[in-house]
Structure 1
Amino acid sequence: MRVLLTGSSGWLGRHLAPLLGEHGHEVTGFDVVPGAYTDVIGTVADRALVERTMGEHGIDAVIHGGALHKPDIARYPRQAFVDVNVSGTLNLIEAAVAAGNDRFLFTSTTSLMVRADVRAGAGEAGAWWMDEEFGPLEPRNIYGITKLAAEQACRLVHREHGIAVLILRTGRFFPEDDDTHAVPSGENLKANELLHRRLTVEDAAAAHLAALEAAPAIGCDTFILSAPPPFARDEADELARDARAVIARHFPDAAALYAARGWVLPATIDRVYDPSRAERRFGWRAQTDFGRVLAALRDGSALPFAHDAGYTSPIVARERATCTN
């Protein structure tokens, strides 16, 4: 297929584009900044550019991975989020319908599921167990609000025109340090998050490839993407009180392996993302999980996820370069 991939210069795009190529797809990369896999430079908010790109490249399917993200809130006004995340998504899916495409993938985020009470900590039943039926959805910032609105726009176009739409709510896979949590930092935090809310960028790319192939048979659905948690739903209460005891039951040597590295296990876990629907419906299961982290600690091999404290997104790098010139 000839696939239009937005966000092709970003962290996901630079992993997804070559993977698509390896599986026989012809990829046209679309981004606001240049990159190794980017062919068209511009914004998805430019409807004429989107339509021209669809026609000139004979696009058969769209994977919409480009967006303004949560860290961008500090740099852009709310209107920019509406223009890019909502209007841009509508531009793309309507162009896909006009071009006769039969499938459209929208990269969304688990962030839109994090209401104020979820952000505050565990609920009355313990850790929040967050699958695709979790609700009500009340995003806490403009990023989540616009991603939810874009999801709804995609569903509307599916209902009206029949184009297959798969919405992929990804957990965390960014390589840089967390911008809100300082302790624990770096690799320790990422390792902990693979228990309940993170996946690798390689697994995120593989999920998009699998979803692209399965979309017409599914029609329209929403999927959470995260590493498979080792926990059961009935452990939610204990996770909120004493996560280390639960972890010890599943991984008896975890505490010792962590101590040898100078790391700390989470004392509590207040939410767990459940990605099992993706495995049931299109056969995707993350290959990297917490068990893989412990295996690396046991044998001294490289950790199975990327960490780059100095990573900056391409758009931020461009802005910094502009300011210094």
Structure 2
Amino acid sequence: MRVLLTGASGWLGRFLAPRLRAAGHQVTGLDVAPGADTDVIGSVADRALIDRLFGACGIEAVIHAGALHKPDIVRYPRQAFIDVNSSGTLNLLEAAVAHKVSRFVFTSTTSLMISSAIREGRGDEAAWIDETLAPLEPRNIYGVTKLAAEHLCRLIHAEHGLPTVILRTARFFPEEDDTHAELSGENMKANELLHRRLTVQDAADAHLVALDRAPAIGFGTFIVSAATPFARSDAGELKRDARAVIARHFPDAAALYDRAGWTLPASIDRVYDASLAERVLGFRCATGFADVLAALRDDRPPPAAHDPGYTSPKEPPV
């Protein structure tokens, strides 16, 4: 298929574009910044550009991975998030309908599911987060605009029947966390593979599966995160003593972490449950916490990419 990939120069795009081509698709990459897989420089907020692009390239499918993200909150006004994340998504959806595109995959985020209460770890149990979580109360403009974009996807599907899959991806960024600094970046990313992270390779693979399955699904929203070893019944103990729960599942984790100079989480405040994606979408992340421990045993680099110097290609060099 002739696939339009937005965000082609970004962290996900650089892994996704080669996979699409390897699968036999013809990719047109769109981004505001140049990149190896970007063919057109421009913004999804530019409706005239979007209309020209669909017509000139004969687009048959869309993967909309381009967005302003949470770290951009300190760099851009709220209106920019509305223009890009919400209005830009509507531009793509309406162009997709006008040009009879066969499917639409939207890269969303688990961040829109995290209220201030969840973010602050209130309550006596870890929050068990699946697609039934309600009400959704995003805590910043990033989450608000991504949730609005999801609603636009749902509306256009309902009105026009456009097959659409929304992927609420967990964390897969390579840079340092911009709100937590108590652990090294590699240690934190390793811990998060227990309950709120996936590798960028798995994120890219999920989009390929969604692209293939969208017509059969019709419309679906899926959390995409590494499969957690925990059960919902663990929620209370995870909040009180996460290390005891981890030890039951991975008896040598503490010793391997000690050898690496890492720290296991004492408390876990949330768990992303990606089982719906496995059951309905047919996708399960290939990499999880067991792979972290295997890497530590073999003195190999951990599976989650860590690059403290990474900056978005749309930002000028520091």
Question: TM > 0.5 between the two?
Answer: yes
Distance in 1, matches of 2:151 and 2:219, equals 12
Q: Say if 1:170 and 1:226, in contact at 8 Å, map to a contact too.
A: yes
Answering whether residue 25 of structure 2 is matched by residue 25 of structure 1, we say yes
Which amino acid is 2:193 matched to? L
Report the Cα offset of residue 122 of structure 1: 4.4
Report the Cα offset of residue 183 of structure 1: 1.1
Answering whether residue 72 of structure 2 is matched by residue 75 of structure 1, we say no
Q: Which runs of 5+ in 2 are unaligned?
A: none
Distance in 1, matches of 2:32 and 2:60, equals 22
Which residue number in structure 1 is paired with residue 135 of structure 2?
136
Report the Cα offset of residue 302 of structure 1: 2.4
Which residue number in structure 2 is paired with residue 262 of structure 1?
261
Distance in 1, matches of 2:25 and 2:154, equals 25
Which amino acid is 1:106 matched to? F
Distance in 2, matches of 1:312 and 1:121, equals 29
Distance in 2, matches of 1:282 and 1:92, equals 23
Distance in 2, matches of 1:305 and 1:239, equals 22
Distance in 2, matches of 1:18 and 1:102, equals 21
Distance in 1, matches of 2:300 and 2:139, equals 39
Which amino acid is 1:25 matched to? H
Distance in 1, matches of 2:185 and 2:115, equals 25
Which residue number in structure 1 is paired with residue 209 of structure 2?
210
Which amino acid is 1:320 matched to? P
Answering whether residue 296 of structure 2 is matched by residue 297 of structure 1, we say yes
Which residue number in structure 2 is paired with residue 183 of structure 1?
182
Distance in 2, matches of 1:57 and 1:82, equals 27
Residues 292-316 of structure 1 deviation map (CA, whole Å, 9 limit, x = unaligned): 0001111112221211111111012
Which residue number in structure 1 is paired with residue 8 of structure 2?
8
**After the TM superposition, which parts of structure 1 deviate over 6 Å for at least 4 consecutive aligned residues?**
none
Residues 55-78 of structure 1 deviation map (CA, whole Å, 9 limit, x = unaligned): 111000000000001111101111
Distance in 2, matches of 1:109 and 1:302, equals 27
Which residue number in structure 1 is paired with residue 87 of structure 2?
87
Which residue number in structure 1 is paired with residue 228 of structure 2?
229
Report the Cα offset of residue 127 of structure 1: 0.5
Q: Say if 1:122 and 1:240, in contact at 8 Å, map to a contact too.
A: no
Q: Say if 1:122 and 1:271, in contact at 8 Å, map to a contact too.
A: no
TM-score by length of 2: 0.99
Q: How does 1:108-127 map to 2 (within 5 A)?
A: 108-124=108-124, 126-127=125-126
Q: Percent of pairs identical after alignment?
A: 70
Which amino acid is 2:110 matched to? T
Q: Which runs of 5+ in 1 are unaligned?
A: none
Q: How does 1:155-194 map to 2 (within 5 A)?
A: 155-194=154-193
Residues 2-42 of structure 1 deviation map (CA, whole Å, 9 limit, x = unaligned): 00000000000000000000000000000001000000100
Distance in 2, matches of 1:9 and 1:24, equals 20
Distance in 1, matches of 2:247 and 2:157, equals 45
Aligned residues: 318
Which amino acid is 2:156 matched to? V
Which residue number in structure 2 is paired with residue 38 of structure 1?
38
Q: For residue 166 of structure 2, give the secondary structure of its aligned residue in structure 1.
A: strand
CA-based RMSD: 0.8
Report the Cα offset of residue 320 of structure 1: 3.4
Distance in 2, matches of 1:210 and 1:247, equals 30
Q: For residue 271 of structure 2, give the secondary structure of its aligned residue in structure 1.
A: strand
Q: How does 1:309-324 map to 2 (within 5 A)?
A: 309-316=308-315, 319-320=316-317
TM-score by length of 1: 0.97
Which residue number in structure 2 is paired with residue 275 of structure 1?
274
Residues 275-306 of structure 1 deviation map (CA, whole Å, 9 limit, x = unaligned): 11111112111011000000111111222121
Residues 119-171 of structure 1 deviation map (CA, whole Å, 9 limit, x = unaligned): 110434x1000001111101000000000000001100000000011110000
